[in-house]
Structure 1
Amino acid sequence: MNAQHRNQTLGTVSRTADATRARRLLISGAKALLFAGLMWASAAAGEIPVPGTPVPITLQTFVVMLAALTLNWREAGSSVAMYLAAGAAGMPVFAGGASTAALFGPSAGFLVGFLPGVIVAALLRGKARTGSTGQRALTSLRYFGASLVGCVGVVYAFGFVIQSALTGAPLGAVALASMGFVAGDLVKAAVASLACAGFSGLIHR
């Protein structure tokens, strides 16, 4: 192979690699944008007030769990970052049609906590193994644990601390008043984990 032919071959390989990287980035961006849109849709779908706390129940945590269990940590983090950025820019994407003000209100900690929470859960979930019923069951349990640590534990920690700081209420009182969310989030984590473990073999191909 002469030098000219070798250079042409290397140039073709380089262009192919660049096209492949561009396509992957485009797909990753589309996934992140999709989940950012789903977070907005879940907030727009309605909210359920919880007595004793100004923070309502929505399906946003469920969408965050789905993002953590189906996307890599960069895509999952980007989806939440885009959602928060849209709200900070004044778009009515938060619960009740709120925008920038929500980032300074009682729900601020939970909203901000979505970002580190989804990244932690995505990193903890591990690789899906769905070759048998037993493997799917173990994957579901691992996904469930990752969802609880990241999308519940981390999110709640941010939510409690920031709400306490903003409202002046004792941290313990804030945590106690928010216990009404726990049962719903356990159900969300279980459903998300079972669904994603069952379909992850297709999603991650």
Structure 2
Amino acid sequence: MQPTSATAASTSSTRRMLRVTGHIAKSLLFAGLMWAAAAAGELPIPGTPVPITLQTFVVMMAALMLDWREAASAVVAYLAAGAVGLPVFAGGASTAALFGPSAGFLIGFLPGVIVAALLKGRAHTDSFNASLRTASRYFAASLLGGVVVVYLIGFAVQSSLTHVPFGVVAAASMGFVIGDVIKAAVASLAAAGLARLR
């Protein structure tokens, strides 16, 4: 009886360790993808010091593909890498970006990814209509977390740092908002499609 109990305990411990390793690996993968999205290039928008990158797309995908803890861990790992001086932010920036005009957007990734991950619900992909409902729910979650939350924090911090009124900052950033609404739609369709494959 004793060897069987020991074997069961060992198997349970191994499974638990594999689960934890899987969670860590997923978080680190998405942290790396956030860096890759920043390194891939940026597109400047006239009237605002913050460039367009694909980071928000990766943040939305993290929220839709991972649970909220994994998604939050991915963002924390990414922000921590920049905070300690690694050039992971747009334009190869590191620590200084967390105190500049982009700071609010970067910091906003954390509450944004958590909100989106919590709102997405479970993927139901057993039929076309179920997949469509899942994609619609994902889109709403991405809009609320990945756009509304991130931009409210980003606008507020940028307005505070630059002493430009909140409304002016928001108006100058409408190009970002439109782009991120499109990214939210693409991320939602992609995540729903990947959920269907699983």
TM-score band, normalised by shorter chain:
over 0.9
Work out whether residues 120 and 138 of structure 2, in 8 Å CA contact, stay in contact via their aligned partners in 1: yes
Instruction: Give 2:160's aligned residue.
Output: 165
Cα displacement string for residues 107-157 of structure 1 (whole angstroms, at most 9, x for unaligned residues): 000000001100110110000000000000000000000000001011001
Instruction: Give 2:96's aligned residue.
Output: 101
CA distance in structure 1 between the aligned counterparts of 2:5 and 2:164, rounded to whole angstroms: 64
Question: What letter corresponds to residue 155 of structure 1 in structure 2?
Answer: V
Establish whether residue 146 from structure 1 lines up as the match of residue 102 from structure 2: no
Cα displacement string for residues 77-132 of structure 1 (whole angstroms, at most 9, x for unaligned residues): 00110000000000000000000000000000000000110011011000000000
Note the C-alpha offset of 1:9: 2.6
- From 116, 132, 136, the counterpart of 1:137: 132
In structure 2, do the counterparts of structure 1 residues 10 and 201 end up closer, same or farther at CA, with 3 Å as the change threshold?
farther
Unmatched 5+ stretches in structure 1: none
- From 180, 193, 196, the counterpart of 1:198: 193
CA distance in structure 2 between the aligned counterparts of 1:102 and 1:84, rounded to whole angstroms: 10
- From 118, 131, 144, the counterpart of 2:113: 118
Work out whether residues 131 and 196 of structure 2, in 8 Å CA contact, stay in contact via their aligned partners in 1: no
Establish whether residue 19 from structure 1 lines up as the match of residue 14 from structure 2: yes
Identity %: 66
- From 14, 35, 55, the counterpart of 2:30: 35
SS in 1 for 2:77: helix
CA distance in structure 2 between the aligned counterparts of 1:162 and 1:18, rounded to whole angstroms: 45
Note the C-alpha offset of 1:201: 3.4
Question: What letter corresponds to residue 58 of structure 1 in structure 2?
Answer: T
SS in 1 for 2:57: helix
Whose radius of gyration is greater, 1 or 2?
Answer: 1
Aligned residues: 198
Instruction: Give 1:179's aligned residue.
Output: 174
Cα displacement string for residues 64-85 of structure 1 (whole angstroms, at most 9, x for unaligned residues): 0110010011110001100000
Unmatched 5+ stretches in structure 2: none
CA distance in structure 1 between the aligned counterparts of 2:163 and 2:5, rounded to whole angstroms: 64
